[in-house]
Amino acid sequence: MAKDALQALQFSIVTKFHDVDQYNTLARKINCLNDKLRTLYDYVDDINLINGGQAFINPTCFDLKFDFSQLERDPQIELLNQLPFIFHTMDTTVIRMQHDYLARMISMSKAPWLLANIVHCRTKEAYYHSPYVVQEIDGVKIAFIGIVSDIAKGPLTESEDDVREAIDSKYAIQKWVRFIHESEQVDYLVVIYPNQLFESDLTYLSEGVDLIIAHDEYFEERSISSSQILYKLPQDQELHHFKLKFKKHPTTYELLSIDVDHFNIEEG
């Protein structure tokens, strides 16, 4: 690539499927989402889709005629595996689902689950997969960290058999941001926070985090510092498409702009 050349990358976040109470409704949503993604990307192989925390629905919300906990394979995860997710994140309502069921669903997922502050209560090691992923998108090396809100801090259930624990999110982010920059040499680092973000939470936007993406009632874009940006995604929209434009310098990338479009999946 020539010096000072422009480079763009894009990724999409599905935050929540609206009005889904049956599996056939979810199947229709997923078909519509696949169609929508094909209109946003030039090539299918270029699609970068992220589960923003609530695309996985508690099965007790479905109108079922059987006990979902007895299923060896759940129809929902079979449907979600049809989507080209690069990773999943999880909000507090999902992380508190029945432990055995959730573990089975995670094990069946094609894409990893990023839960940087969910650890084994004794070893303090990450409990689910890796806390982060690194993707090279259109030449830019970008790292994503998934985090769970401190609302879930502490043991996740009262069961003695449940060894999961949610540790302080600020500590987890600082730990993994430092590790990523030391070992991965990324150009850009994004934290996905799949819950509402309050002013007090902004303190954990530590050095090395370039972009944080959270949920809220309304859309908001805000510069936290000269090099850090916060985006709050509106909950009345299901899909959020990010386009980031960079200028390539000899050893770094300079962010020039971020454009975000919001969609409801079944609308034109």
- Per-residue model confidence as pLDDT tens for the chain (268 residues): 455 567 788 999 998 887 776 777 788 888 999 999 999 998 888 899 999 877 766 555 554 444 445 545 567 778 888 899 999 888 776 666 667 777 777 888 899 989 888 888 888 888 877 899 999 887 889 999 998 876 666 666 667 677 778 888 888 888 899 999 999 989 999 999 877 666 666 665 667 889 989 877 767 777 776 677 888 888 888 999 999 999 888 888 888 999 999 999 887 5
For the chain, the structural domain boundaries read 6-263
Nearest Cα to 238, choosing from 87, 79, 17?
Answer: 17
- Burial of 243 from C-beta contacts in 10 A (0-12 / 13-18 / 19+): middle
- CB contact burial 51-85 (16+ within 10 A = b; e otherwise): bbbbbbbbbeebeeeeeeeebeebbbbebbeebbb
CATH superfamily of 6-263: Metallo-dependent phosphatases (3.60.21.10)
Distance CA 22, CA 30 (A): 13
Nearest Cα to 118, choosing from 53, 56, 165?
Answer: 165
**Per-residue pLDDT tens over the stretch 108-121:** 889 998 988 888 88
Amino acid found at 90: M
**Per-residue pLDDT tens over the stretch 90-146:** 877 666 666 777 777 788 889 998 988 888 888 888 887 789 999 988 788 999 999
Nearest Cα to 197, choosing from 189, 185, 205, 186?
Answer: 205
Give the pTM. 0.85
